[in-house]
Chain A
């Protein structure tokens, strides 16, 4: 079974631009979560989607948004990029039942100049 895939793997943007990252979960997984990883703040939860609905949201500004499609694929969008948005963005998928495990993708490395 294929793992979680994320595209693109690397991205360079300039301040003020916006960016969209994509995540394809493991087949059959209905929950997709996003995390931001930075050297200073570590791994921080952004949001979780389940059956096209946002089920939980972390403490990030409204510039960060996401959505999930009917095939469980998910996208996250960051508008008006800031230098501090440079990070590794990780996507994880799971079956979402009690006791289920999250499986992580390789991440998208975003550099904001």
Chain B
């Protein structure tokens, strides 16, 4: 069965500092991996996705993520965070070729200190 673990429930960083959000997945085949962001009271916005090819994926808002098969990880990074990045971030895995079902991690809430 697919599963996703986001080890950090809450992270606080200072504005301008670098960010790394961790995501580990369990899946029997090559996974399709996603990072979504959710602002309070809002739906989910796709930041980036990995299906195949280059393991370093660029997304919107200056985010990137690296797929590491050997570590079953898909960590999200940003070199310099902005106050507007404060939100909840979700990593998800899917078998998109078969079904659109996504399995989500529990999320990481990001707080930005001014």
Contact = CB atoms under 8 A, between A and B. Distances in A.
Interface in A76-95: 90, 92, 94
User: Interface on chain A toward B: helix, strand, loop, or mixed SS?
Assistant: strand
A101 B104 contact: no
A65 interface: no
B101 A45 contact: yes
Nearest to A103: B46
A42 B44 contact: no
A30 B61 CA distance: 28
Contacts of A103: 46
B82 to A, nearest CB: 22
Q: Which of B36, B42, B100, B104 has the most CB of A within 10 A?
A: B100
A101 B49 contact: yes
Given A42-B106, A42-B107, A43-B90, A102 B100 contact: yes
A66 interface: no
Interface residues of A, number: 28
Given A98-B97, A100-B96, A45 B102 contact: yes
B96 A48 contact: no
Interface residues of B, number: 24
A101 B35 CA distance: 11
A94 B44 contact: no
Interface string A53-87: 00110100000000000000000000000000000
B28 interface: no
A44 to B, nearest CB: 8
Interface string B24-62: 000000001010100001111110010100000000000
B99 interface: yes
B87 interface: no
A49 to B, nearest CB: 9
7 contacts: A43-B92, A45-B101, A90-B44, A92-B100, A96-B100, A101-B49, A102-B102
